[in-house]
Structure 1
Amino acid sequence: MSKINSHKDLKVWQESMDFVVKIYKLLEQFPDEEKFILTNQIKRAAISIPSNIAEGAGRESNQEFFRFLSISQGSLSELETQLEIAEKLKYITLNDEIKKQIIFIRIMLTNLKKSLINEK
């Protein structure tokens, strides 16, 4: 991977930032009693995805960047699980757009990690 000027240049960061906004809008459907429990966990996981991409991109080595991309992947899996819990509780209905965006971000993170390995 050639050196980037900023994490903002990364398509996966841009996509995950847009995804955070969609998640926040989706959470507006939650019942009041969940506003500070499950919604808080979901928000934290969603925010963690682009935040760790940004932190990793700002690090000095590809190895460190790889580690933060792995953390982003973990947060994405955590978020996906929490959304499925919310769906099982009938707080939300996950539409295909959200499901596809999760897959798309996961693929981009995986491919970015592969590009870092191939640079070694």
Structure 2
Amino acid sequence: MKYEFSFEKLEVWKCSVDLSKTIYQLTISFPENEKYGLVSQLRRASVSIASNLAEGTSRQTNKDKAHFTTMAFSSLMEVLNQLIISKELNFISEENYDKVRVEIGKISRMLNALRKAQINN
């Protein structure tokens, strides 16, 4: 695959896009009355992770880049919180929750490592 922009080379960005796709698939089965509630919030927050990474790579200073990585991490935690609530409301199964939780853990470690590298450069 040929890359044009630096964010497209980031493994954490690729994983974030995959997480968004997972969230979109999971929320298809949510109750219709959650269309503008948890479904919308989960989808927007998951997309925000990859979007903040993409936007951050365009910044000039490492401090600014790290800020957007922090924002991506914050969106990831928002997704986790909303998934916990979704599980508690029985909108998603324990099995699906556990699978996504593993993805979130992986992405959180990658974001922390990226932010540390940005700050230390």
Query: Same-fold call, TM > 0.5?
Result: yes
- Distance, in Å, in 1 between the alignment partners of 2:119 and 2:60 is 15
TM (norm. structure 2) is: 0.91
Task: Could you tell me which runs of 5 or more consecutive residues in structure 1 were left unpaired when the two chains were aligned.
Answer: none
Find the residue that maps to 2:72 and give its secondary structure. Answer: helix
**One-letter amino acid of the counterpart of residue 118, structure 2:** L
- Distance, in Å, in 1 between the alignment partners of 2:119 and 2:37 is 38
2:7 matched residue in structure 1: 7
**2:75 paired with 1:63:** no
**One-letter amino acid of the counterpart of residue 67, structure 2:** R
Aligned residues: 115
- Distance, in Å, in 1 between the alignment partners of 2:106 and 2:67 is 20
Find the residue that maps to 1:25 and give its secondary structure. Answer: helix
Task: Could you tell me which runs of 5 or more consecutive residues in structure 2 were left unpaired when the two chains were aligned.
Answer: none
2:20 matched residue in structure 1: 20
2:36 matched residue in structure 1: 36
- Distance, in Å, in 2 between the alignment partners of 1:71 and 1:93 is 28
TM (norm. structure 1) is: 0.92
Find the residue that maps to 1:81 and give its secondary structure. Answer: helix
What percentage of aligned pairs have identical amino acids? 39
List structure 1 segments (4+ residues) > 2 angstroms apart after TM superposition: 94-97
Find the residue that maps to 1:80 and give its secondary structure. Answer: helix
**One-letter amino acid of the counterpart of residue 12, structure 2:** V
Q: CA deviation at 1:97?
A: 2.2
Q: CA deviation at 1:61?
A: 1.1
- Distance, in Å, in 2 between the alignment partners of 1:78 and 1:62 is 24
1:45 matched residue in structure 2: 45
